[in-house]
Structure 1
């Protein structure tokens, strides 16, 4: 009788371990395209991304670089005070997107230009994405908002 209980316990432990391995595998498979790493312009200058790598680029939109094309294509430059990266975006920009403001874009590099598929802009005068703020502080560009 004891051996039957032992066998049943071992079978339950093996089944639970297999279920756990399958769950972890399915979670990893689901996230394979959904994880985007953040990079600042200075980090991109130090170690350029691989071709086709999707990542997030953040910084301040450099003054005087915002150019709206004839269609929905917009070009501008993002900087963190240490380096600058040209950006091209086709689509509708957020209402609060302006020069000198913080932004984060998701996309990939095509040559020397970051081609964004999504642009996020700060949503009020006190908010800036933490990654962008840390990068700007590191290069001495960040200014505390007036409260």
Structure 2
């Protein structure tokens, strides 16, 4: 085999290996992507039925029911609501009327089965110690 053909074959093998590597990386990324949907998008059937995704909104007031580690609540975006069931310990910031993001799957009955719940705070959040210090500073003459 001549040197030119050998280089061409080597280049083709390298390109093929790079193509396979890129394909495997894209496949791994695609299977690990978790998209975010609002309750309105879930109500409009825009959320995937068999894939894990995140739903976010406000915890509807008066909707939280707990029985030990089993918790049920409703997430709303004020236009539509989705019932959520979760088994586990809720984060400290979880409260009715506050923002929440839950990750899980949509069951056949339309209930979102969460395996992770993240409580959100607003952008004006201040650590409790810092808030006390600010209030004390304002109270001084």
Q: TM-score, normalization: structure 2?
A: 0.76
Distance 1:127 1:15, change over 3 A: farther
Deviation at 1:10, TM superposition (A): 1.3
Give the Cα separation in 1 of the matches to 2:4 and 2:77.
62
Deviation at 1:92, TM superposition (A): 0.9
Give the Cα separation in 1 of the matches to 2:34 and 2:124.
21
**Residue 84 of structure 1 corresponds to which residue in structure 2?**
81
Within a 5 Å distance, the mapping from 1:44-123 to structure 2 comes to 44-69=42-67, 71-110=68-107, 111-122=109-120
Q: Could you list the structure 1 runs, at least 4 aligned residues long, displaced by more than 6 angstroms after superposition.
A: none
Give the Cα separation in 2 of the matches to 1:61 and 1:20.
47
Deviation at 1:47, TM superposition (A): 2.0
Deviation at 1:44, TM superposition (A): 1.0
Secondary structure of the residue aligned to 2:13 is helix
Give the Cα separation in 2 of the matches to 1:37 and 1:19.
30
State which structure, 1 or 2, has the greater radius of gyration over its C-alpha atoms: 2
Secondary structure of the residue aligned to 2:123 is coil
Within a 5 Å distance, the mapping from 1:129-140 to structure 2 comes to none
Contact 2:37-2:47 at 8 Å conserved across structures: no
Structure 1: where are the runs of 5+ without partners? 129-147
* Structure 1 vs Structure 2 CA RMSD: 2.2
Deviation at 1:31, TM superposition (A): 3.1
